[in-house]
């Protein structure tokens, strides 16, 4: 590939990432401004910078069961201080229940439904009063599954937002489908 080709490819990646970031930002702005936030099944902190820009003062905890996620999280501490990684099972999260915001983005719900139904119920229990839970998925079937499970949680009330007011979905499809709830 020529130097110009490489530059264009790099620019395309940046543009793709910026579209994804804009989509995520447009979801986060519907949530309360957290002091303490968690990202369950966080992966390698791909969106740390977006979280940090949206929530400059928040303490953010990422939890993932994958050892490699821990590595990525440490290497990519792009969000700076006040980011913490916990390796654990989101179905049995080793966390205290005081989170203002909990994110569960792109959980592999269809592959591991038993584990994720427990994880989403656990997330509901980790929220502080008036705390918000955001779930996003690539597929409609997964978000509908999450909706069925979470609608049955008595402590949660749907937090409505207008899908038309969100930034467009990027080619990656990240955060294509989303729903949010608030704890009473």
Binding mask 120-159 for ligand SAM (x = CB under 6 A): ----------------------------------------
Binding mask 30-49 for ligand SAM (x = CB under 6 A): -----------xxx--x---
Q: What CA–CA distance (Å, rounded) separates 172 from 167?
A: 14
Binding mask 72-91 for ligand SAM (x = CB under 6 A): -----------------xxx
**Nearest-CA neighbor of 175 among 29, 13, 12?**
29
* Residue 180 phi, psi dihedral angles, 5° rounding: -135, 150
Q: What CA–CA distance (Å, rounded) separates 14 from 183?
A: 36
What is the nearest approach in angstroms of ligand SAM to the Cβ of residue 66?
Answer: 4
Residue 95 lies near ligand SAM (rule: CB under 6 A): no
Q: What is the largest CA-CA distance in the chain?
A: 58
Residue 2 or 134: which CB sits closer to ligand SAM?
134
Q: What CA–CA distance (Å, rounded) separates 122 from 95?
A: 10
Contact with ligand SAM (CB under 6 A): which of 69, 102, 124, 146? Answer: 69
User: What does the block give as tokens for 68?
Assistant: 């490699």
Contact with ligand SAM (CB under 6 A): which of 119, 123, 135, 180? Answer: 119
């Amino acid at each position: 590939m020529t130097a110009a080709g490489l530059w264009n490819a790099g620019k395309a990646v940046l543009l793709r990432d910026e579209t994804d970031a804009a989509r995520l930002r447009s979801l986060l702005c519907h949530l309360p401004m957290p002091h303490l936030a968690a990202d369950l099944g966080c992966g390698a902190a791909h969106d740390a910078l977006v979280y940090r820009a949206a929530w400059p003062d928040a303490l953010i905890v990422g939890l993932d069961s994958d050892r490699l996620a821990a590595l990525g999280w440490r290497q990519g501490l792009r969000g700076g201080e006040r980011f913490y990684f916990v390796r654990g099972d989101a179905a049995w999260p080793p966390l205290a229940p005081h989170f203002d915001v909990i994110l569960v983005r792109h959980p592999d719900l269809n592959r591991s439904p038993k584990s994720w139904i427990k994880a989403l119920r656990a997330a509901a229990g980790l929220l502080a009063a008036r705390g918000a839970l955001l779930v996003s998925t690539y597929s409609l079937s997964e978000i509908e599954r999450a909706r069925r499970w979470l609608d049955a949680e008595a402590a949660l009330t749907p937090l409505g937002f207008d899908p038309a007011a969100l930034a467009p979905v990027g080619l990656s499809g990240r955060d294509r489908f989303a729903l949010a709830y608030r704890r009473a």
